[in-house]
Amino acid sequence: MRRPALLAALVLVTGCDALRSGAHPDLPPFVTRPDGSMQVVYHRSIVAASRRAGEPYERGQAELDRRGKRVFVGSSDRGLYAVRAEDGSVIWRFETLGFVQCAPLYDADEDVVYFGSNDGALYKVRARDGHLLWRFMTNAEVSRRPVLARGTLFVANANDTVLALDPASGALRWHQHRTPAMGMEVAGYAGVTYFRDKVYSGFSDGTVVAFDPTTGAERWQPVDLAAEVEAQTGEAPRYLDVDTTPVPDDLRAGPVVFVASYAGGVFALDAETGTQVWSNSGVLGVSELVGWSQPAHDHPMSPARRYLIAASGTSGLWALDPETGTEVWRRSLPSGGFSAPVPLSGALLVSTTRLGVFLISPLGGDLIDGIHMADGSAMTPAAAGTRAFVLTNGGSLLALRVAPPFAEFEPNRAPL
């Protein structure tokens, strides 16, 4: 239940009546609602304040076990927590030697959790009690979510290394490392993506590579996005980084992966050959790419939509046409940083480092609803059905309910 006294002390819910005024065929159903779309279900302080040292933000992303109604979330107190989704109570805590800013991976078939730590290790623990099954030292920070595909666990670390591990034993099957280029680098790095029997990742030297999932051999020549930028501008970019985890898609032109160069913009690359399909050099400073789609619906009538959402700390939030890379809309975002946008019930949920959590229309970037928090949230929200979870920078787990106005538009995912 929502407790007014508690909410008054914790958050300020800002409804956006001005955005709901007037009918428009492209507005999502949220915008026409007379009341707020977001509600706080609970907040629970879970991070051990006595163990926090030197990290003012909580990063990464929670992982949801919808069947078992559990939330797995890392923290700056060096722990990974298992929490009951219905009330936020802690089931167990596993401590590492560094901040846990990695998005965990839950495997329902084995009931285990894989996650990385800033101590350089990748862990596998039992989901029911947090018992350690194995630990593999990668020798660099692990903050991107691992990927489990074809009986292999794939993970990237902050030292431009992609590793393939045996999920049962943690034994190394293969690894590929690229030597970082000389010059300045942006904080963060790309994760791995498995798509059409290839493993894709980006690197700080400005390249994107596709690997064979069995042997680790390069499946196509590394694509040098830094060279593309230099050819377009006539000078070498100051920052070469490709820090976005590749996003796969099937376009009319065929299968592609979307990637972004910090200084060079957003690219669509042919998934089979690495050939450039399109590029948009105007979208700079991108740290996250997310695909978003909406089926056609009648309340109000609106056609099907598909956008590629690019999040940039320097140029704002962008929606691009995935077929051509053309800008659809662009919105400035608050200073201080923000998370990757998360699709939720037809909208986008994003957390901001200094302000809180906000629901944004993917059709125009307009604000639908928001919850302001004094300590903000740097963590990417995790969402399933109509529920979302995020850890605030103050160490509290915030559970939200986002209620769509029409049942037929609820995503086809079991709610918590």
pLDDT at 229: 67
**Contact residues for 120 (Cβ-Cβ < 8 A; gap 6+):** 98, 137, 138, 139, 140, 141, 142, 157
Residue 128 reports pLDDT greater than 80: yes
State how far the alpha carbon of 399 is from the alpha carbons of 171, 349, 383, in Å. 37, 13, 10
Contact 269, 256 (CB under 8 A): yes
Q: In which band, very low, low, confident or very high, does the pLDDT at 55 lie, cut at 50, 70 and 90?
A: low
Percent of all residues in the chain with a pLDDT value above 90, rounded to a whole number: 56
pLDDT at 86: 95
Q: In which band, very low, low, confident or very high, does the pLDDT at 50 lie, cut at 50, 70 and 90?
A: low
Distance CA 139, CA 174 (A): 15
Which whole number is the average pLDDT over 26-34?
51
Residue 68 reports pLDDT greater than 70: yes
Percent of all residues in the chain with a pLDDT value above 70, rounded to a whole number: 80
Residue 29 reports pLDDT greater than 90: no
pLDDT at 31: 55
Higher pLDDT among residues 411 and 248, named by residue = 248
For 291-348, what is each residue's pLDDT tens digit? 998 887 665 567 888 999 999 888 889 999 999 999 999 988 766 678 899 998 888 9
Residue 166 reports pLDDT greater than 60: yes
Q: Does the 4-68+155-167+180-408 domain belong in CATH 3.20.20.80? A: no
3-state secondary structure (DSSP) of residue 243: coil
Higher pLDDT among residues 296 and 64, named by residue = 64
For 69-102, what is each residue's pLDDT tens digit? 999 999 999 999 999 999 999 999 999 999 999 9
Q: In which band, very low, low, confident or very high, does the pLDDT at 28 lie, cut at 50, 70 and 90?
A: low
Residue 185 reports pLDDT greater than 70: no
Higher pLDDT among residues 184 and 293, named by residue = 293
| Positions of E strands within 85-159 | 90-95, 105-107, 112-116, 121-126, 132-137, 147-149, 152-157
Residue 407 reports pLDDT greater than 60: no
**Contact residues for 412 (Cβ-Cβ < 8 A; gap 6+):** none
CB atoms within 10 A of CB 299: 11
Mean pLDDT (the chain, rounded): 84
Output the CATH code of domain 69-143.
Answer: 2.40.10.480
Residue ranges per structural domain of the chain = 4-68+155-167+180-408, 69-143
In one-letter notation, the amino acid at residue 315 is: S
Q: Which of 103, 113, 96 is nearest to 51 (CA)?
A: 96
pLDDT at 333: 74
Residue 231 reports pLDDT greater than 90: no
pLDDT at 5: 33
Residue 125 reports pLDDT greater than 60: yes
**Alpha helices, DSSP H, located in 122-173:** none
Residue 416 reports pLDDT greater than 50: no
For 275-285, what is each residue's pLDDT tens digit? 999 999 889 88
